[in-house]
Amino acid sequence: MQYLHTMVRVSNLEHSLYFYCDLLGLEEISRKDSEKGRFTLVFLAAPEDKVRAREDKAPMLELTHNWDPETYTGGRNFGHLAYRVQDIYALCERLQAEGVTINRPPRDGHMAFVKSPDGISIELLQAGDPLPPREPWVSMENEGTW
């Protein structure tokens, strides 16, 4: 058995690509438009997984955009996606500066949670040892669910 990808449905492909690629740093590996099925599939990979994603088609995140409008619920039931990051403070600062709510701030220098435009929880984990705790993160409260 081999892990391939996780699929999440997105309501606005442009907003989702901005969040996952421009803000989180994932990279588009492939895209497929289906006129007959009226959907677009976009496969993304973390920078350190690009070679594996291109060669093995894994591990990736599949964004599915159905062209006919639909309201998605149940993102919390899904659980979350998790990514290891090089500097959790720098990434959270960049996300926050772009208007992304830090639902669970990285108070411990190790873990944070944010949500995608479609309400999918994203866990961010510091690579290696936790960073030393620092402000403003130490004093920040949780916001919403994560």
Tens digit of each residue's pLDDT (9 = 90 or more) over 107-119: 999 999 999 998 8
What's the mean pLDDT when you consider all of the chain? 93
Domain covering 79-146, topology: 2,3-Dihydroxybiphenyl 1,2-Dioxygenase; domain 1 (3.10.180)
**Cα–Cα dist 120/137, whole Å:** 22
In this predicted model, what pLDDT tens digit does every residue of 67-95 receive, in sequence order?
Answer: 998 887 766 557 789 899 999 999 999 99
Any idea which architecture 5-66 has in CATH? Roll (3.10)
pTM of the model: 0.83
Show the tokens assigned to 3. 């892990």
Q: What is the mean pLDDT of residues 43-61?
A: 95
Res 69: pLDDT: 86
**Cα–Cα dist 31/46, whole Å:** 16
CA-only gyration radius of the chain, Å: 16
* Residue bearing tokens 């060669």: 55
With a CB cutoff of 8 Å and minimum separation 6, the contacts of 47 are 25, 26, 27
CATH 3.10.180.10 intervals, the chain: 5-66, 79-146
Res 1: pLDDT: 65
Res 72: pLDDT: 77
- The backbone region for 27, taken as left when phi is positive above 0, alpha when psi lies in -120 to 50, beta otherwise, is beta
Catalytic residues: 123
